[in-house]
Structure 1
Amino acid sequence: MQISKGVEWAAHAAALMSALPPGRGLRAEALARYHGVPGPYMAKQMQALSKAGIVHAARGKHGGYRLARPAGEITLWDVMTAIEGRKPAFTCTEIRQNGPCGAEPEQCRQKCAIAAAFHAAEAAFRDHLQAVSLVEIAAGVVADSSPDHLRDVGRWLEKEAVALG
């Protein structure tokens, strides 16, 4: 399974927005500059997060993005599915029914061991990401950052955050 850069970028943007004070937001261009990524691509990720109800988008001169729900209610699974969709990573094509020794359909009423293993792994992956909220991500960032770095982030947020109307 390969997860796109868009998921990483959206998760970082959402984690950063969790530090915003109420009524404040960040423009997509500011989020792109902060993370050193292309603006149009960050805007695309923010639109997907907005469509999924993870962020609220305000348009116009005083526009920007802010989290649409409390950070504790937004999980990494929410972010990932907003960007990647909900299609399963593994799709069984019932290859065991093919070829000269293929099984008959009535012999394939249960999942084969291969499909069962992939589905179990995918369920564990989903369950883990559903258990990790933006609050936990933000707490990890704070724990891993120096006071100087946190002060720099706070100053940057004060400068870049816009009042959303």
Structure 2
Amino acid sequence: MRMSEGVEWALHTCANLAWVEPGDAVPAARLAAVFGLPAAYLNKQLQALARAGILTSTSGPRGGFRLARAPEAISALDVVVAIEGAEDAFRCARILADSPWGDPAVDYRATCAISQTMRRAELAWRRELAGQSIADIVGAVERRNPGTGERLRRWLTAARA
């Protein structure tokens, strides 16, 4: 399974916004500058996150993006689905129905061992992502690199003061 780079950008941005004071908005250009990303493309990802209710956006001179929910209430799966969509990664095309021994009346999505294997794997992947919140990710970063959040918060909001 291959996801777009927008997923990585969106997850990092949500983690970065988790360190910003609640209520403070950060412009897309400032968020993009953290990693040297193209602001216009990151803004598309941010708009997708806003449509999904993960971020809110405010226009104007003090505008920008902020988390719409507490970091504990945003899962990694929420972010992936906002960027990539909710469609299953594996889609059984029911090719067994066209085989010499196939039966067009059979729902091979429910009986095919390959389809079932792929579905179980995808459900495990989704469960793992659903079980990891932005708060969990931020906590892991802070444990590995203490002070990251404070440094990032200061950097993101320095131009706004």
Distance in 1 between residues matched to 2:46 and 2:132, nearest whole Å: 20
Corresponding residue of 1:156: 155
1:13-162 aligned within 5 A? 13-99=13-99, 101-108=100-107, 110-147=110-147, 149-160=148-159
Unaligned runs of 5+ in 2: none
What is the identity, as a one-letter code, of the residue corresponding to 1:157?
A: L
What is the identity, as a one-letter code, of the residue corresponding to 1:104?
A: D
Distance in 2 between residues matched to 1:43 and 1:133, nearest whole Å: 22
What is the identity, as a one-letter code, of the residue corresponding to 2:94?
A: E
Sort the Cα spacing of 1:78 and 1:43 in 2 relative to 1 into closer, same or farther, 3 A.
same
**Can you list the C-alpha shifts for 1:61-109, whole angstroms capped at 9, x where unaligned?**
221000001100000000000000001111111111224x141124556
Contact 2:31 2:156 in 1 (8 A): no
Contact 2:9 2:42 in 1 (8 A): yes
Q: CA RMSD in A?
A: 1.7
Q: Give the number of aligned pairs.
A: 160
Percent of matched pairs sharing the same residue: 36
Distance in 2 between residues matched to 1:31 and 1:53, nearest whole Å: 18
What is the identity, as a one-letter code, of the residue corresponding to 2:71?
A: A
Distance in 2 between residues matched to 1:114 and 1:44, nearest whole Å: 36
Unaligned runs of 5+ in 1: none
The answer to which structure, 1 or 2, has the higher relative contact order (CA under 8 A, 6+ apart) is: 1
Sort the Cα spacing of 1:55 and 1:111 in 2 relative to 1 into closer, same or farther, 3 A.
same
Q: Larger deviation: 104-113 or 133-142?
A: 104-113
Sort the Cα spacing of 1:23 and 1:161 in 2 relative to 1 into closer, same or farther, 3 A.
farther
**Can you list the C-alpha shifts for 1:11-58, whole angstroms capped at 9, x where unaligned?**
000000001112201110001001211111110000000000000100
Distance in 2 between residues matched to 1:18 and 1:160, nearest whole Å: 18
